[in-house]
Structure formats: structure tokens, C-alpha cells
């Protein structure tokens, strides 16, 4: 009996972006649960590569983890890795990230997020994986104003090339799910934060600057609202969604409130905390945790930015029985503890 259980749990998952913030945390969780994980990461220098290397080094302590460094645009390499590993499931998290950088270097987003994602989808199709899961973003809601954002609403008004490439991914994935019967789940992440976070994200930048006595830039004069989602909650949700495999609905009838496609085994799921937090309250709590006041540089709204995001995570709860719930104050405290240790500040 034991060996049967072992075979059941020893599922193989190929994760792209394992040296990245979310990919690292997901790999760590899946390894702890007994999965065999192969990581694929481009180790690009969009931010400090040594942080990415540290994450991979930690994962490599586990004998069930191996990784390949390479770019997703290199289809021959990715195909070879995917064929050799022969995964049951693919989770595609690698991307050129960052809303603001997409204003400066839009082409990088087409290469990584459109071409790279197409190569992942092709491998998933060829290998006939049980489930393909891919990251989208809350940014696809763009100019939508009705909140909380829900998956069944239209999302046709993207405001940045970053968001547009992610919306393109959703459409491409739907087509493949329809044509090849490839079960696919897209998740729309809302502002993710936590230990081992990205240096270009607000929490890391704010803590780093406050401890150094540098001013912090606060956009829209702090009148911004975000659905801050703690990274460990987020990856727990992804882990549970791996088992929520979408099925093409019979007769095209979709249950109320489900984003399941009437024409494909395809679904979009929000992963957020279902809570909107004012940016100024977030900054106040960082000051509170650090015991230090920030030098605040209030600025106008940035191009392509939105004043608020807020997830309805009801579908996630229906599908998995779970929803993220870490209070932002607890999450900030955990990040600050990690950051002080990591940076020695």
C-alpha cells in the first residue's frame, strides 16, 4: 500500500521561474509535499541575480529538485528539458514582470511573455500534461472600475503592454485548451508580497529606503488601494488549484459564478486576499514594524497605474475550499524579519 501512496504523491511538476519570487515559494511548498520538481529559469538581470541564485541554492538542498538555466524563447532547450523530465503538470510563472518597466522596454515583454508562453503551451500540448497552470495578473482588469474584480466580468481595457501580454496569454491558452483539450487554469494574481520578495516591489523598496534614511516615492499621494496577497497564501492556492482540473462542460452549460469556458477545459481564477488596503496604511505599518519614520515623497499617479485593485476570491474558495487570509500587518512583520536577516541591516 505504501508504494502505491508514494507513486500517487510523487507527481512531477515542471515550474518555470523557480528562481523568481513566486516560483521559489511554490517549488518549496511542492517539495515539502513530496512532489518532484524541475525548475526552469532565465536568471535575467531585471533585478539582482544573486537573490535569484540564493533562492535556487536553497531549493537545490532538496534531492527532488533540479533546475535548468535558460530562456523560454529558446524553444529547443525548453523542449529538451520538458521531454527529459516528462512532467504530469506544468506551472508557468516565468515572465518579464513589472508594470512600470513595460513602459521603458515593451519588446522584452513580447519576447518573454508571448513567445515564451507559446513555447510552454506547445510543450504542454505535445506531452499531454494533466494540467497546465499559468500566471496572469490582476492588471488585466485594467480600466474596470466595478470592484471587487470578478473573473466572469469582461476584461478588455488593459492599460500597459505588460497587462496586454498577459491578456494575450489568456486568449492563447483558451485556444489551445479548446483545440487540444488541454486542461488549463490561468490565475490572476493580486499584489503579492512577502519574504524573498522582489527588490522592485514596493514593500522591499520602502523597507530598504527607510532603513537607509532615503526618501520613498508614494504615488497618487498615497490614495491607492491594493489587495496585498501574502506569498505563502498565494502558493498554497496554486497548490490546491493543481488538483482542480477544469473539464469541458457538457452541453456548454457553466455553473453560476464559474469562469469555466463553455467551449474548453479552461478557467481563470483570481488569487487575492479579498481585502483592499490603503497604501498609506501599508506605509504606516512598515514604519511601525521598523520603529522608524519614512521620508515621504508624495507624487502624482504614474502612467498605466490604477488607483485600486481588489479581488473577489469566491471562485477560488468554491474550487479549493481555501482563500488567502494573512492580514497585511502580519505579512509585513514577516517580511521585515526576513529582510533584516537577509540584508544584515
Work out the number of other CB atoms within 10 angstroms of the CB of residue 201: 17
Q: Give the whole-angstrom CA distance, residue 336 versus residue 287.
A: 10
Q: Give the whole-angstrom CA distance, residue 151 versus residue 268.
A: 6
Confirm whether 162 is a catalytic residue: yes
> Across-strand partners of 270?
188
> Which of 47, 101, 141, 162 is labelled catalytic?
162
Q: Which residues are catalytic?
A: 162
Amino acid at each position: 500500500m505504501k508504494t502505491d501512496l508514494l507513486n500517487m504523491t510523487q507527481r512531477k511538476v515542471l515550474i518555470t521561474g523557480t528562481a523568481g519570487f513566486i516560483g521559489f515559494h511554490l517549488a518549496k511548498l511542492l517539495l515539502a509535499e513530496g512532489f518532484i520538481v524541475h525548475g526552469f529559469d532565465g536568471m535575467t538581470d531585471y533585478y539582482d541575480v544573486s537573490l535569484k541564485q540564493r533562492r535556487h541554492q536553497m531549493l537545490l538542498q532538496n534531492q527532488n529538485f533540479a533546475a535548468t538555466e535558460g530562456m523560454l524563447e529558446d524553444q529547443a532547450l525548453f523542449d529538451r528539458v520538458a521531454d527529459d523530465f516528462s512532467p504530469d503538470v506544468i506551472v508557468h510563472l516565468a515572465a518579464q514582470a513589472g508594470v512600470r518597466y513595460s513602459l521603458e522596454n515593451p519588446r522584452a515583454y513580447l519576447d518573454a511573455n508571448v513567445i515564451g508562453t507559446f513555447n510552454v503551451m506547445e510543450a504542454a500540448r505535445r506531452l499531454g500534461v494533466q494540467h497546465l497552470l499559468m500566471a496572469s495578473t490582476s492588471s488585466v482588469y485594467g480600466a474596470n472600475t466595478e470592484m471587487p474584480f470578478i473573473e466572469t466580468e469582461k476584461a478588455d481595457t488593459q492599460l500597459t503592454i505588460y497587462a496586454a501580454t498577459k491578456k494575450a496569454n489568456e486568449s492563447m491558452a483558451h485556444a489551445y485548451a479548446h483545440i487540444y483539450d488541454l486542461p488549463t487554469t490561468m490565475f490572476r494574481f493580486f499584489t503579492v508580497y512577502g519574504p524573498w520578495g522582489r527588490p522592485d516591489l514596493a514593500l522591499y523598496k520602502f523597507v530598504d529606503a527607510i532603513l537607509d534614511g532615503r526618501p520613498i516615492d508614494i504615488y497618487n499621494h498615497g490614495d491607492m488601494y491594493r489587495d496585498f496577497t501574502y506569498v505563502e497564501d498565494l502558493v498554497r492556492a496554486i497548490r490546491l488549484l493543481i488538483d482542480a482540473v477544469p473539464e469541458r462542460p457538457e452541453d456548454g452549460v457553466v455553473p453560476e459564478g464559474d469562469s469555466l469556458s463553455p467551449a474548453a477545459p479552461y478557467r481563470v481564477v483570481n488569487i487575492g486576499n479579498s481585502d483592499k488596503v490603503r497604501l498609506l496604511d501599508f506605509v504606516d505599518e512598515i514604519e511601525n514594524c521598523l520603529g522608524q519614520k519614512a521620508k515621504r515623497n508624495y507624487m502624482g499617479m504614474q502612467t498605466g497605474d490604477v488607483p485600486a485593485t481588489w479581488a473577489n476570491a469566491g471562485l477560488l474558495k468554491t474550487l479549493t475550499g481555501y482563500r488567502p487570509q494573512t492580514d497585511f500587518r502580519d505579512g509585513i512583520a514577516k517580511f521585515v524579519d526576513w529582510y533584516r536577516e537577509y540584508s544584515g541591516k
